[in-house]
Amino acid sequence: MYEVHGQPDADEEASASAEKQDSGESRDVFVEDEVHQIQYKTLSWQSVSLLMIAEIVSNGMLSLPSALAVVGIVPAVILIVFLGIFGLYTAKLLIDFKLNHSNVHTMGSDAGYIMFGPVARELLAFGTVAFAICGSGSELLSSQQALSTLSNQGICSMYLVIITGAVAFMISLPRTLGRLAWMGLLSAGVIALAGFVAMIGAGANPVPGRSLTITASSNFYDAFLAVTNPVFAYAGMNFVMFFILISEMRRPQDAMKAAWCLQVFATIFYAIFSIVLYVYIGNTVQSPALFSLPPTWSKATFGIAIANFLLSSLLNLSGSSAGLYTHTAAKLVFVRIFRHSKHIYSHTLLGWTVWTLLCFAGVAIAAILAIAVPIFSYLIGIAAALFAAWYTYGLAGFFWLHDVYHLKGGVDGIKRRPIGTTLAVLTILAGAFICVAGAYVSIKVSVRVFASDIHLSNQ
C-alpha cells in the first residue's frame, strides 16, 4: 500500500497507478549499506540549512538595496517578506513530494518523469543542468568582481575567472555533500560577517544629501527588473538544493526544519541588510551594493565575502550561487549514468574518472560563458526566468495536485481540498507569470545592452 507522507491511503488502485509513474526505480536513489565504500546519507538538517544559506544568501543580498531605490522601501520589504513566506510554502510542497517518492533525486531526471513522462524528464533535466551552469558562472563573476576590487583592477578579469574556476573545481570534487557540510558553516559565518561589515561601512560613511524613496510609482518593466534579483534569489534555493540535499540526509523527515532555518535567516537578513545600506546610501546605491561603499570599506567587505564566493563557486550543488551548482549538475548526470551500480557506492576507476570529467566540464563551461559572453549576466536572468521560476514555484503546485490526485482519491480528493487546490493553482500561475515576465524583462535588457555595445564599438 503506497503512502502519502504521514498518512496511508486506502485507495489501492490509485496507489498502484502512482507507483507505475516512478522513474523505473521505486527505491531510494542512495541505498544505505554498511559495505558501501561511499556513504551518502550523512547530512543533518542543520548541515542542510547551512549549505542552503551558503548557496542562496551570498549573491542574493548584493542587489537588494538597489531594488529599494526603484520601488521604494515599503514595497520592497513587503516583497522580501512575501517571497520568504511563499518560498517556505513551496518548500513544503517539494519536501512532501520527495517524502512520498523516495526515488526522486532531482527535479528533472526523476520528478519530471513521475509527473509528465519521458519527454518532460529530459526537458527538465536539461533545464536543471543549464541553470546550474549559469548559476556557477554567476558565482565565478562575483568572485572575479571581488578579486578585481581587492587588486585595484590590476589583474586581467579572464585570469581571475580561471583562478576561481580552478578553486571551484577542486571543491566540487567530493562525491558526497556530507564532506562539504563544514563549508556551509564557514560560508554562513562569512556571509553574516561580510553583511555586518558592509552595514557598518555604510553607517560610518553616509552619503551627504542622500534621497530616500518610501514608495515609488514605476512602469512594469523597471519595477520587475528591480525585483528580479530577490525573486530569483528565493527561486534558486528550492530548485537547486532540496531534492539532492534531502536525498543525502540521514533523516529526510527533518528537511522542513532546514527550510524554516533558511527562510527565517534569509528573510530577516535580506530585509535588514537592504534597508540599512539603502538608508545610509540612498537612491544612488549601486548593484552590487558593495560598490557604493568607500574604497576601503568596499575592499574590506569584498575581502571577507571572497571566501564565500569561492566556496559557493566550488560547492556547486546545482543552483543561485555558483558553488552548489556544479556539484548538482555533475551529480544529476552521474546518477543517470550509474544509478544503483557499484560505481555509485565504490571507489572505481571508471566512476571517479566520469565524476571528475563531469565536474571539470561544468566549471569549464561556466568559466567560458562568464569570460566569452559579454551579456552573460543577463543570460542568467533569462535562464532563471525560464527554469528556476517553474522549478521553484510552478512545479510545486503540480506536485501537490499530482499526489492528491494519485494518492488521495483522484478528482474527488482534489475537490475535498478547496484551499489546498486554490493555493496550488495560484502557485502554478505565479510560476507562469514570473517565467513570462522575467524572460521578457531579461531579454529586453539583453537586447538593449547588446545594441549599446555594438554602438560603442562602431564609434
Q: Is the pLDDT of residue 46 over 80?
A: yes
Instruction: Tell me what pLDDT residue 18 has.
Output: 41
Give CA–CA dist 342/351, Å, rounded: 9
Q: Which residue has the cell 526515488?
A: 103
CATH number of 3-380: 1.20.1740.10
Q: Is the pLDDT of residue 15 over 70?
A: no
Instruction: Tell me what pLDDT residue 6 has.
Output: 44
List, for residues 84-101, the tens digit of each pLDDT value: 888 889 889 999 999 999
Q: What is the mean pLDDT of residues 290-312?
A: 72
Spell 212-244 as b/e; 16+ CB within 10 A means b.
ebeebeeeeeebbbbbbbbbbbbbbbbbbbbbb
**Terminal CA-CA length for the chain:** 72
Give CA–CA dist 40/249, Å, rounded: 8
The model's pTM = 0.81
Give CA–CA dist 113/76, Å, rounded: 37
> Does residue 287 sit in helix, strand or coil?
coil
17 touches 407 (CB < 8 A): no
Give CA–CA dist 382/385, Å, rounded: 5
Highest mean pLDDT out of 227-241, 395-409, 444-458: 395-409
Report the 10 Å Cβ neighbour count for 12. 10
Q: If you average pLDDT over every residue of the chain, what do you get?
A: 78
- Considering only the C-alpha atoms of the chain, give the largest distance between any 2 of them, rounded to a whole number of Å: 73
Task: Tell me if the bond preceding 288 is cis, omega within 30° of 0.
Answer: yes
Give CA–CA dist 129/145, Å, rounded: 24
List, for residues 193-215, the tens digit of each pLDDT value: 888 888 998 888 888 888 888 88
* % of residues, the chain, pLDDT over 90: 18
| Dihedral sign computed on CA atoms, order 332, 352, 184, 361 | negative
List, for residues 310-327, the tens digit of each pLDDT value: 554 444 333 334 556 778
